[in-house]
Amino acid sequence: MDGLVNEQKNGDISRRIIHVTGIVQGVGFRPFIFQIARRYGLYGWVFNSSAGVQIEVEGEEKALQGFFSHQSPV
């Protein structure tokens, strides 16, 4: 699994757009991302694309750091 992260900031709120490639479809990856984002009070979306999975998540920087500290189940 590989990923690319784009970052945007607006005051105390940051946004990350992540493109994940590899075997990430049909393995529960989207529900995993949803659960972790909720745990940290983050907002955004995650969807399958032809190249893998795209994630957009935003919130406070500390919450984003917590989100990115989790290991993927795949």
* pLDDT tens-place string over residues 5-47: 555 566 688 889 988 888 777 778 888 889 999 999 999 999 8
Domain of residue 8, CATH code: 3.30.70.100
Give the predicted TM-score (pTM) of the model: 0.73
How confident is the model over 62-74, as pLDDT tens digits?
A: 999 999 897 665 5
- Determine the 3-state secondary structure of 25 from DSSP: coil
Assigned domain for 74 exists: no
Q: Which of 6, 38, 39, 48 is catalytic?
A: 48
Number of domains in the chain: 1
**Catalytic residue status for 30:** yes
Inter-residue contact 42 to 67 (CB < 8 Å): yes
**What residue numbers bound the domain in which 19 lies?**
2-69
Q: Which of 10, 30, 38, 39 is catalytic?
A: 30
What is the 3-class SS of 45-72, one letter each residue?
EEEEECCEEEEEEEEEHHHHHHHHHCCC
Give the C-alpha separation, 57 to 64, whole Å. 8
